Amino acid sequence: MADPIRCAVVGDPVAHSLSPTLHRAGYAALGIAASYDAVRVPAGELAGFVAGLGPQWRGLSVTAPLKREALALADEVSDIARLAGGANTLVRTAAGWSADNTDVPGAAAALRERYPGAATTATILGGGATAASVGLALADLGIGRITVAARNPDNAADAVAAIRRHPAGPEVEVLPLAAVDGRGGVVVSTIPAAAQTPDLVARSLPAEVVFEVTYNEWPTPLVAAATAGGVPVVSGLDLLVHQAVLQFARFTGHDGPLDAMRSAGETAQAAR
């Protein structure tokens, strides 16, 4: 019998990740012989880690701060990963390692699932790699005006450039967080809960929908305020599950069992 395939999520920090819970639930639901772990890999060490992996290793979920490193070491790069400027997925192929980005279609699927409306504008709090991926997802959904608000707008240059490269040509504005003014539409938070001050939360609402990309600190101040005001919320767990389902298919060749993976994630999150 062939050795079970191996997969993992890599990043730093990574111990908090629910990805092992989701992927293991998928393996169990489909009866696939595979393992999935969380491995701490500091910045600058991804290439060395990948070089040491044996043939049983099939795929890696890549989180901060390694998404650009994943792109650089890959033998093949998908169009969406190149557009986003970072990869959250590495898959072993006959040619070596293929880099992909499932955050973009995962974010679009998560938003579609929870919000049937047709917003035309969005404000993204934060300007890092996740902001770029979600911004591209918003453009995929037809949102034509996107504001990126960052503590230091200069640090959002890569994310802004990535969103502007989208074929739909969205109008992208960059502002300091202090200038957020409750423009409505979709409000996306990619910043930590600790950065969601009462003043910023008040200036970020009202909104048609709030998309909070974290799941480790729940509910965040923004989510609490949105829920109190009757604003629908898309959670970081929604994003994690949808992008993981896409990764699962790339790693195993089988469609990811959405319900089983979501249920496992909800149970694990509730237990924290």
Q: Do the domains 116-231 and 5-101+239-270 match in fold?
A: yes
Give the other-Cβ count within 10 Å of 29's Cβ: 16
Give the residue extent of every domain in the chain: 5-101+239-270, 116-231
Query: In the β-sheet with 96-100, what is the strand arrangement from edge to edge?
Result: 34-40, 5-11, 57-62, 89-93, 96-100, 76-77
Domain at 5-101+239-270, CATH homologous superfamily: Leucine Dehydrogenase, chain A, domain 1 (3.40.50.10860)
Q: For residue 2, what pLDDT is reported? A: 54
Residue range 71-109, pLDDT digits in tens: 999 999 999 999 999 999 999 999 899 999 999 999 999
| Residue 56 CA neighbour count, 13 Å, CB half | 11
Catalytic residues: 67
Question: Domain 116-231, what fold?
Answer: Rossmann fold (3.40.50)
Higher pLDDT, 52 or 183: 52
Q: What is the pTM of this model?
A: 0.93
Question: pLDDT tens-digit profile of 230-248?
Answer: 999 999 999 999 999 999 9
184 pLDDT higher than 90: no
> Which of 134, 132, 128, 146 has the alpha carbon at shortest distance from 108?
134
- Does residue 1 surpass a pLDDT of 50? no
114 token code pair: 């929870």
The pLDDT tens digits for 139-175 are 999 999 999 999 999 999 999 999 999 999 999 999 9
Size of the chain, expressed as the number of residues it contains:
272
